[in-house]
Structure 1
Amino acid sequence: MNLLDVRGLTVEFRGDEGHQNVVRDVSFTVPESKCVALVGESGSGKTVISRAVMGILPTKAKITAGQILFRDNRPNGEIIDIAKQDPAGSSMRAIRGEQIAMIFQEPMVSLSPLHTIGDQISEAARLHRDVGSKEAFELTKDMLRLVHFPEPERAIRAYPFELSGGLRQRALIAMALICRPSLLIADEPTTALDVTIQAEILKLIKEVQAELNMTLLMITHDFGVVTNMADEVVVVYNGEIMEKGSVEDLFLHPQHPYLKALLNAVPSLSMDPEDRLVPIRPIKPRTHPIDLPTHSNGKTQAFRGTPLIELEGVCKSFAFKNQRGRKKRGMTAALDNVALTVRRVECLGLVGESGSGKTTASLAMLRAFPLTRGKITYTTKDGPRDIRDFSEAELFQYRKRAQIIFQDPFSSLNPRRTLNEILQEPLIIHSMGDSVSQAARIRELIDLVGLSPRYLRRYPHSFSGGQRQRIGIARALALYPEFLICDEPTSALDVSVQAQILNLLKDLKDELGLTYVFVSHNLAVVDYISDRVAVMCKGKVVEVGPTRQVIDNPLHPYTRALLKAVPEPSLEHKLDFNALEGAGSSDPAQWPSPFRIQYSIIPFLIEMETDHWVCAPGMEAMRDAESWGGGHI
């Protein structure tokens, strides 16, 4: 029996530029107690469909055709056509929240920063379950326990900014479930979350769905999530359904070219090293002799694999302050005796959960802040230099050679500057050429990343996410750097756009002789682009080695836990949710011997295989520094 039946749905957006049908003649069903996944790229119409079901379309949108038939499960319930309901009417308000609930994509935006978690979750209970404030808070605590929220009694008094991304997502789930709806719509519920937290959220949704006999409509572009959660799949492109059927049929026997193209764009841990992602809209960097910097020559290739940047015993601590920002309440170690080597013309992947120190370590390489202890050596033409000793002029020159691609391109691009001004700014700051040569360089850069010169007068808001990320790459390349830090550059992108960016970075690395540090929590992405990988946890490097060697033979329990939590886009390698229970402890004191780290012990690395290092302080035979070679990696 179907709980939701969408028939011929058409949604029109009306604006200054005319009318546009963003959803056209969409039909699908959601069977009771099953999970249906809506899959497609950004802009395909997935979220518009879900908002039409919830009756929360924006004011400029209107349902012009079709039916949204929902079977009301209340006593004397009947089949209701949501498309004909007044979105602000009492009938629709009674359905929304009580019968149909939604988990939104970005919890920090969806939660009010001015109200506690308890107030926001209990509000739904007071509105729909006819209970008082005291009973509503008791229901809130019960629901927080159901979603495995630590210390619910304290959590109800917490504000969203005090919670991690995973806990904010759990709070949204609790808010959606407090009225025990029959249909739950989950709009990208795990986008940009760590793999371990993502696995926890997926397991939680599955458990709650089974316990409450709930029906699930999941919106996602992650095929790993689809294979682990969905019973049926609906593939949407440009507002129309391309293909639909059971998850087994669509993955084992895809028929539509668009679905086949999406599947070919998904990175997987089972890919061979020589395999290449196939994006739907490929980008081929068009390099010319003038694009090639001075370090991309035979001499650089001759030094391929030699150290470019070395971190030795790097420590960085940050102070906690009171609410007024005055007195220190304590210190937290973001980096704890980190030792790493970044080699020329290689890509070193940094992986780990949020708060593991990945971004802090990469920013330390740019001397973005002073270190607490340790040194970072950069190999110049005159030999190795500690970047802490750079004068102001030397640091200015170093910043030309070392650049960064930020995680969120929209936040890192000035909304008041055009593309031309954004790319010209670093050239002006570093006095590189006159206006004529700068204009020529700008055109080379946009050609390099596959953009058109006609975009030069556009502002960032008029570009797609993938285009904005390419602008970030072009800006980072403007000064002919030799070293790029890529900080989660594909974390929130569609699989097809992600494939574009990853292939572009690989091609630029080979053609321009670049060196990368690629920060990510997606091990499949790191496996595809990186030559070596370093796994970090609580500011410590716990394992380093050639990427394929670490993926195929992980030695540290934390690395094994990360790999177990990766949702593979394959029906043959589904997540074992039971095996995830307690497997990924991020507390070094809880790791089994010989990997357990006591906080009074300085961590060090031992070479277990050729160029494959692991942090295992309990190996008594390796404690002598002479037996493990000093820990340089």
Structure 2
Amino acid sequence: MNTTAPLLEVRDLRIAFDLPEGRLDAVRGVSFTVPAGGTVALVGESGSGKSVISQAIMGILPKPARIAGGSIFFTDPADGKTRDVASLPPSGPQMRALRGGRISIIFQEPMTSLSPVHTVGDQIGEALRLHRSLTAPQTRETVTETLRLVGFPDPQRALKTYPFELSGGLRQRAMIAMALVCRPALLIADEPTTALDVTVQAQILKLIGDLQAELGMAMLMITHDLGVVANVAEQVVVMYRGQVMEAGRLRDIFRDPRHPYLRALLKAVPRFDMEPNERLTPLREIEHNGHAMLLAAKASWPDREEIPQSGSEAPLLTVQGVSKTFTIRKGGFLGRWSRQTATQVAAVDDVGFTVQKGECLGLVGESGCGKTTLSKIIMRALDPDSGQVTFNDRGQPLDVLALEGDALTRFRRRIQFVFQDPFSSLNPRMTVFEILSEPLQIHGLGDPAWRADYVKELMRVVGLDVRHLRRYPHSFSGGQRQRIGIARALALMPDLLICDEPVSALDVSIQAQILNLLKDLRDELGLTYLFISHNLAVVDYIADRIAVMCRGRLVELAPKATLFKTPLHPYTRALVSAVPEPNPDRPLDLAALMDGKASIPEAWPEPFAPRPDRTLEMIHLGEGHYLRAWPGSFAAVPEPQNVRSQGQRLPNASVAGAD
């Protein structure tokens, strides 16, 4: 056996797609090596060829694709033989033995990668049945041990669980268990944490690192997140449009980036140490102009007179004591013999805050904490069980929850929504012109000629070519589709824009484009934002104040400088520590994650944990900093009376509340 040979060597690899419109060269002469037991990160934007390389290594290229040249040498530690994977038939016995047995892969989206009609135990056990000669009891025992190894709290129960019954983090752990059950020599992780919350992402990264050390396997990490790279990789290969731009050791890449593309990627990532007026630098800045017609239209519409001076001190939006409970039913079929059990889940529990005109309030928390439910209540897409939502309608308080009919329709012109997924939120059967003009038609604004001019202005405002108005959503990139979503939300010139995870599905460079665009539009059009996200670094870049939400309740609220300088709540500290920074000298603080229990209130230390004999209150610590804790545990400061200058007073209904 040649002990000096790398575990994997990709040499001058070329991959082409034979499409009806011609040949597309997706990978053009890529070379790199992965040492035994080492970690190499393959970095680049969507479309750079990263995932295509992983598919070629696994022998699962799509039908139009083929390896046009080059080699992929894999040296199996089990027998010492070196094989050229690129020359093996994808369905041949040698490739089938390597795939899943010696080389495994973790896909980006666990829900679409797992079969919804088979249990987790069956799916993981299938890999053993294909690659190992084990009895049924041995297979069950090995699967159970692997589930325990990846951190399932109850491996025996997980064997009979279906993927849809698991959270996003547990589904990803199930994917990892499936990839590791045969103890492969090489693990390919293709964007394994992109769809996860930052706290769950940190847990998964720690888990993969621990398992890699315990099992002695090598890893090829494919990602566009340079923060993830800085925390897991030893070697880095940077790709752009199918070619390697720069490669080297981790610290050399981050401390002395040479290629302009890599330097641009590093400047596009939001960081906690950015200067107050510093902007992100995307690879391609959005050149937008216009907005004069939008401002003129807003001023001319009959319900858009300026707020009188007497009402200017009041917040634009006030949320007081809002609660919403859902009933989840589990059991057999509906009917006479069904055995259903009902569980009450408090999605939103006594939440209150204010949003001042012209500010951006960031609302952060993990998936399932109630952020989107709360935004739907504000939009009147859901009715709460209790509470009050008040909107400042030109100086007059408007009871949003009491609106009906035409009054509700008029109110919805004042608040608009930017969705998380720009593809599923756009009608694939409508052109961009139809999508952008639809809100104007619904609300009866303007004649056809005026709408055509107005839609062109919307396109210019978000930096899109007006010649593309007759295209359909599928012909645009992810970042362009998100800009179409923003343009649609701006069509009615709302006073408040609710942005629900608008950049979580985008590459870092496209994310920087959208964040810069939102900041510019806020200044130019006088918009107010409620910006929802799970990434505190993103919220830090765009927000003025930040509200932290966990299990349906606000746990901390403060100006962003205060929140990041002195986070007091254990959940806030976990969120801050879980954001991976593109700096090898500042690794993730995994201790603050409390072994994955940071979002479990019962695991919080005193004086933050709920107790039967204790009441949790939102305590004002001064300068707009609020913290949910036991009364008397922190020195309280009287609420500011000058709301106009402070802009941070909480509604009375949310100041106190028993858990």
- Report TM bin, short chain: over 0.9
Cα drift, residue 522 of structure 1: 0.6
**Paired residue type of 2:262:** L
Deviations 1:471-500 (A, max 9, x none): 110111111111111000111211000000
Alignment of 1:177-576 (within 5 A): 177-292=180-295, 294=298, 306-323=314-331, 324=333, 329-381=342-394, 383-576=396-589
Change over 3 Å in CA distance of 1:264–1:624 after alignment to 2? closer
**Paired residue type of 2:464:** L
Is residue 2:85 matched to residue 1:82? yes
**Paired residue type of 2:325:** S
The equivalent of 1:41 in structure 2 is 45
Is residue 2:14 matched to residue 1:6? no
| 8 A contact 1:39–1:236 mirrored in 2 | yes
126-135 vs 160-169, greater mean Cα deviation? 126-135
Give the percent of matched residue pairs that are identical in Structure 1 and Structure 2. 54
| 8 A contact 1:307–1:342 mirrored in 2 | yes
| 8 A contact 2:9–2:72 mirrored in 1 | yes
Deviations 1:592-622 (A, max 9, x none): 2221223786643111121111111242687
| 8 A contact 1:409–1:468 mirrored in 2 | yes
Cα drift, residue 423 of structure 1: 1.0
Is residue 2:608 matched to residue 1:608? no
Deviations 1:8-57 (A, max 9, x none): 00000001001111100001111111110000000010000111111110
How far apart, in 2, do the equivalents of 1:468 and 1:541 lie?
32
Cα drift, residue 252 of structure 1: 0.3
184-193 vs 379-388, greater mean Cα deviation? 379-388
Is residue 2:174 matched to residue 1:171? yes
Deviations 1:559-583 (A, max 9, x none): 1111111111112211133453437
| 8 A contact 2:308–2:395 mirrored in 1 | no
Secondary structure of the residue that 1:307 maps to in structure 2? coil
How far apart, in 2, do the equivalents of 1:305 and 1:124 lie?
64
Secondary structure of the residue that 2:193 maps to in structure 1? coil
How far apart, in 2, do the equivalents of 1:624 and 1:566 lie?
31
RMSD after superposition: 2.2
**Paired residue type of 1:321:** R
**Which of the residues 81, 99, 104 maps onto 1:101?**
104
Change over 3 Å in CA distance of 1:106–1:325 after alignment to 2? farther
| 8 A contact 1:589–1:599 mirrored in 2 | no
How far apart, in 1, do the equivalents of 2:253 and 2:24 lie?
30
Deviations 1:109-167 (A, max 9, x none): 10011111111001001100111333212111100000001101111111111111000
How far apart, in 1, do the equivalents of 2:380 and 2:592 lie?
41
User: Structure 2: which 5+ runs fail to align?
Assistant: 641-648
125-134 vs 320-329, greater mean Cα deviation? 320-329
Cα drift, residue 552 of structure 1: 1.0
User: Structure 1: which 5+ runs fail to align?
Assistant: none
Secondary structure of the residue that 1:216 maps to in structure 2? strand
How far apart, in 2, do the equivalents of 1:531 and 1:382 lie?
23
How far apart, in 2, do the equivalents of 1:598 and 1:53 lie?
54
How far apart, in 2, do the equivalents of 1:295 and 1:568 lie?
43
| 8 A contact 2:499–2:531 mirrored in 1 | yes
**Paired residue type of 2:547:** A
Secondary structure of the residue that 2:413 maps to in structure 1? helix
Number of residue pairs aligned between Structure 1 and Structure 2 = 632
| 8 A contact 2:597–2:603 mirrored in 1 | no
Change over 3 Å in CA distance of 1:378–1:31 after alignment to 2? same
**Paired residue type of 1:234:** V
TM-score by length of 2: 0.92
Deviations 1:358-394 (A, max 9, x none): 1111111111111101111111125112111112111
How far apart, in 1, do the equivalents of 2:343 and 2:175 lie?
31
How far apart, in 2, do the equivalents of 1:20 and 1:142 lie?
45
Alignment of 1:110-121 (within 5 A): 110-121=113-124
How far apart, in 2, do the equivalents of 1:411 and 1:237 lie?
27
Is residue 2:604 matched to residue 1:591? yes
